[in-house]
Amino acid sequence: MTPLLETVGVGKAYGEFVALDGVSLSIAEGELVSIVGPNGAGKTTLVNVLTGLLKPTAGVVRFKGQDIAGIGPVLLAKRGMARAFQLVHIFPAMTVADTIAVAVVSHTGRSLDLFGSARADAALRAKVRDVAAIFGLEAKLDTESRLLAQGEKKLLDIASAFALSPEVILLDEPTSGVASGDKHGIMRNVVDAAKRAGVKAIILVEHDMDLVAQYSSRIVALTAGRVLADRRPADFFGDPEIVAAVVGKLVGKLAKGS
């Protein structure tokens, strides 16, 4: 079966600095694959390559069997892969409804200069309500995003990506800045929402190893721009040397005792 998303021998260099070196990975339907690694491991570069922001200097990137290297997030979203926007941080004065509507409008191909008339469109409003309801934000549609609680802001960021009706969604630190007690609630909400919305696979970049352990199908660990491990959670956390190399000895000890 053709993978939904794959890289084969992907490299990315900036002059003499090598950010990615021969990275190969494959993501299939039904998976939630976490990408982990210490600072400077190449996670951000890999995410930018996967989402078309960067063109690799070596290797290939394929989505549904087609080369997507460097095509950009807009064209990639039209093909079915989306990345959480973090629009809340860009447009804090926009309401929840308008923030979601921006994504819906971009996906339908309407130009933003027609946004005023688009807001009155019944189909648009229905889509916005549906997406908001998935994330429990239907009561906050008229609320400016800056007034939301931090956990609600994170959900709105993710909801904006879901509004693009993606087959694959990439979440970059979706619970950063959120209180520990809210993190699992956000992840459960996202995973449940993905199932209901027909999302076929999730790519998660996350530092919180508790979340990675509980929700991942597989864990891809990067160090120095290379894949150190590509394993299921039990195998990953069962190897203290890999855990220590990727996230530190303290977490390794905790994982061994869990």
What are the pLDDT digits (tens) for 14-71? 999 999 999 999 999 999 999 999 988 999 999 999 988 999 999 999 999 999 999 9
pLDDT confidence band for 116 (50 / 70 / 90): low
Q: How far apart are CA 161 and CA 173, in angstroms?
A: 14
Whether 151 shows a pLDDT value over 90: the answer reads no
Q: How far apart are CA 161 and CA 142, in angstroms?
A: 19
Q: Can you give the pTM of this predicted structure?
A: 0.85
Predicted pLDDT at 179: 80
Q: How far apart are CA 191 and CA 197, in angstroms?
A: 10
Residue with token string 């309401």: 95
The candidate with the shortest Cα–Cα distance to 236, out of 202, 225, 258, 226, is 258
3-state SS string for 37-95: CCCCCCHHHHHHHHCCCCCCCEEEEEECCEECCCCCHHHHHHHCEEECCCHHHHCCCCE
Predicted pLDDT at 86: 63
Predicted pLDDT at 109: 59
Q: Which of 153-162, 210-219, 225-234 has the lowest mean pLDDT?
A: 153-162
Contact 247, 38 (CB under 8 A): yes
Predicted pLDDT at 114: 46
**Complete domains list, the chain, with CATH:** 1-74+167-182+201-258 (3.40.50.300), 81-165 (3.40.50.300)
Q: How far apart are CA 128 and CA 173, in angstroms?
A: 24
- Of 151 and 31, more confident: 31
Predicted pLDDT at 195: 87
Q: Which SS3 state, helix, strand or coil, does residue 145 take?
A: helix
pLDDT confidence band for 178 (50 / 70 / 90): confident
Residues 193-217: what's their mean pLDDT?
Answer: 92
